[in-house]
A and B are shown apart, each in its own frame.
Chain A
Amino acid sequence: MELLTEFLAQVQASSGILMRWDVGLALLVGSVGGVLIGAIPGVGPAVAIAILLPATFSMDPIVGLTVLLGIYGSSMYGGSIPAILINTPGTAVNALTTYDGFPMTTRGEARRALSLAYSSSFFGGIFSVFCLILLAPVLAKIAPMFGSREIFLAALLGIILVVTAHRRQALIAAAMACLGIWLSTIGLHPATYSKRYTFDQAWLSSGVNLIVVVLGLFALSQAFILLMGDDEKIRLTKLKGSFFQGFRELLRHPRVAGVSASFGVVMGMIPGVGEFTAQFMSYTYAQKSSKRPEDFGHGSSEGLIAAETANNAVPGAAMIPLLALGIPGEALTAMMLSVFYVHNVTPGPQLFQNDMDFVVALYLALLILNVLVVAFLLVATNQLVKVVKIPNRFLGVAILTLSFVGVYSLRNSFSDCLLAAGFGVFGYILKRLDLPVVPIVLGMVLGNIMEVKLRSAMARVKTPLDFIDRPIAAILFALILLVLALHVRRVILDRKQRKARAWSTSHASTSFAANLSRRRSFLLTERGKRLRAKRSKFSRPSTDES
């Protein structure tokens, strides 16, 4: 109770920050811009944040972060529009919305689906902000217990979670995380003042800038993907009537909405897990607990509520590890971390102790943002759906033009642009092959944190066991072991399943056609060729040649 009263006093103190005109403008630009960006398939919040990052460096930290937070928090609202209307998710995390949203559109219920998506997103967003507000006093008490070794272990846990979250791609995800760690070490080593992988090039002495890598991997690579692809023909459904009915319908499913939002908050707090896991867990829960599970995937309102509530509950929760420990859990929060660094604000326990006004102002900004976005969507959806029609390749031209501002305005350096173009091509290849990009960025950010924290932690450690002699360090270490054990178990189970599938398919059919087909493929294999070559020694040569 005392904690809550203390916090309410903080809210009063922080509201002064939000009364500033520049913060208000940033909220408006971030929320409307985020919805627009989310509504255009092929752009997404990562591209927009990467481009806008350098522009926010000249702003006050709260203004810059509000714009970026606005884009992050509102893009998923916008992303549901093309997911429902044209079966193409506006942002990657809206993919599950297409399962039930688009079938509703084909049934002529586009307005109902959109209205449900907005109301669920609003509920998820507001729920996560309230959780944050309730957790803030607790976080402020716990965060100072994190010393160097705890932050090192939390960062290590984050990197392991990011890698293991890439199912069936964990090996290459680990390789990409190691690439990120290696990239973070390029330049001058601060403790020994020796050069690392600079190849005696002056432009590499200051290291590889995170924003150059991010712009290359997210913005330039996306521009290349769009420029190399084809335009899609889009037919839009006309929307008529009010968008308020979704709020009434959401009230009829409080259990699904509440559980999905809770999944979003919990998964958002864990680094490296994020929206996808939250969505799939809440969708599975909604389907299993539904009275009509057969409707899921065919336009179920509960499915739509589960997907949209869970993904919008994540951005608020993802700010917890970032603000409390300075550990980003995904690419977007990693980009936001660079805004803190530019302004010499170090997120972590000290921020909670010394600058609580700033933290609470960010929470309140998130709250206002959700209200602004829903108000904007209720009024402007009919006009907004037209942005879906922008041709893909023209979007590529636009992203390439905007990427220039992002990279060049950093240091006015041609070598930065060259490096960004290189990472653009690398990101393009990774996206074409459906390989993970995010571990590179998190490897860069978390690798840097791990290096600094391990160095300072080891100064006070005499034996290896000293490293985990504090309760939080021991819990984090146990969690690391648990995550690794669960991953190994899943890999073994996957392999068993694959083997069982291979056995069942090889004995699937004994029909004459299947036997013939198997015989043909056998003859075409290398073994068949070898056998025929061996047998030809004993047979007469072809009559054509004689």
Chain B
Amino acid sequence: MNDDIGESARGPKRGQLPFAVGFLAVSAVLAALLWDQTAWKDGKDLFSQARFWPAVGVFGMVGFTALHLWHLPRKRFARPDRIEGRNWLFVLEFVGWFLAYVWLVPLIGYLPVTLAFAAALTWRMGYRSPKMLGISLLFGLAVVVLFKGFLQVRIPGAALYELLPGTLRNFFILYL
């Protein structure tokens, strides 16, 4: 089976079917919830109703995805689909890394967590030489100094910074 390019659609064939079926199922559930999740106010015209545009969105999703599914070159699940599905699951590891980073910053602090995150993920990706780990630490430091120190983006001071003595605590909360 040619798994590279479909005849009638662009892109690889693998994974197209599970994606279309999953997206159609989610769209259908959202369409079924339309009456529960939106209101209809009497006396207002159709285009001013709160329900009108969500209906355009969800019914468009259902209709166009159903037609897309109908036009797919292969309509039976095959081994490449299962392999592709497994690949989608593997990416959840990095979602976990990202969410752990988000969770730890308000507790431990932007600078220490960024340094640890950059170095640990660099190690995990197989770059284990002192040079690459050093570059990752420098990169983490540069990101914190640039965004929080220089551009003053809104990232709150960590709970751990409260334990630091007076002036150092203020400096860490404001800049790191």
Contact = CB atoms under 8 A, between A and B. Distances in A.
Given A194-B41, A396-B125, A175 B151 contact: no
A141 interface: no
Contact of B37 (A174, A196, A409): A196
B60 A55 contact: no
A393 B121 CA distance: 10
Counting chain B CB atoms within 10 Å of each CB, the highest count among A394, A396, A418, A502 belongs to: A394
* Chain B at the A interface: SS class: helix
Given A168-B10, A434-B12, A455-B48, A401 B125 contact: no
A397 interface: yes
A9 B20 CA distance: 56
A172 B17 CA distance: 12
Contacts of B16: 433
Interface string A187-205: 0010110111111000000
A400 B154 contact: no
A178 B64 contact: yes
A175 B23 contact: yes
A245 interface: no
B111 interface: no
B132 A447 contact: no
A14 interface: no
Interface string A155-195: 00000000000011101101101111111110001011011
Given A179-B61, A185-B54, A421-B95, A435 B19 contact: yes
Interface string B45-70: 10111110110111111001101100
Interface stretch (A292-300, A322-330, A360-368, A422-430): A422-430
A454 interface: yes
B8 A428 contact: no
Contacts of A171: 64-65, 67-68, 71
B170 interface: no
Interface stretch (A221-229, A261-269, A271-279, A369-377): A221-229
A458 B46 CA distance: 10
A402 B126 CA distance: 20
B68 A175 contact: yes
B162 interface: no
A193 to B, nearest CB: 9
A178 B60 contact: yes
B160 interface: no
A58 B97 CA distance: 29
A432 interface: yes
Given A397-B118, A400-B94, A458-B47, A417 B54 contact: no
A503 B56 CA distance: 40
B19 A199 contact: no
B112 interface: no
Interface string B1-26: 00000011111100110011001000
A247 interface: no
Interface string A423-450: 0110011001111000000010001001
B139 interface: yes
A191 B48 CA distance: 7
B65 to A, nearest CB: 5
Nearest to B97: A400
Most buried by A among B39, B50, B92, B97: B50
B154 A199 contact: no
Contacts of A189: 39, 50
B117 interface: yes
Contact of A228 (B23, B56, B59, B91): B91
Contact of B8 (A54, A58, A183, A498): A498
Contacts of B37: 195-199
A169 B12 CA distance: 12
B98 A403 contact: yes
B58 A397 contact: no
A401 B137 CA distance: 12
A447 B60 contact: no
A391 interface: yes
Interface range on chain B (Cβ under 8 Å from partner): 35 or more
Nearest to A227: B94
A7 interface: no
Contacts of B90: 228
B143 interface: yes
A433 B14 CA distance: 8
A181 B98 contact: no
Interface in A303-349: none
B125 A394 contact: yes
A206 to B, nearest CB: 16
Contacts of A224: 91, 94-95
A512 interface: no
A60 interface: no
A451 B99 contact: no
Contacts of B60: 174-175, 177-178, 181-182
Nearest to B147: A405
10 contacts: A172-B64, A192-B49, A194-B41, A197-B33, A197-B54, A401-B117, A405-B155, A417-B99, A429-B19, A433-B15
**Shortest beta-carbon contacts, A-B, top 6:** A182-B57, A178-B60, A434-B11, A175-B64, A189-B50, A194-B39
Interface of B: 7-12, 15-16, 19-20, 23, 27, 30, 33, 37-39, 41, 44-45, 47-51, 53-54, 56-61, 64-65, 67-68, 71, 84, 87-88, 90-92, 94-95, 97-99, 101-103, 105-106, 114, 117-118, 121-122, 125-127, 132, 135-136, 139-140, 143, 147, 151-156
Interface of A: 54-55, 58, 167-169, 171-172, 174-175, 177-185, 189, 191-192, 194-199, 220, 223-224, 227-228, 391, 393-394, 396-398, 400-405, 407-410, 412, 414, 417-418, 421, 424-425, 428-429, 432-435, 443, 447, 450-451, 454-455, 458, 498, 502
Given A182-B54, A199-B37, A391-B127, 19 more contacts: A55-B153, A167-B10, A169-B11, A181-B57, A184-B53, A194-B41, A196-B38, A220-B98, A394-B122, A394-B135, A397-B122, A397-B136, A409-B153, A421-B99, A425-B88, A429-B19, A433-B16, A434-B10, A434-B11
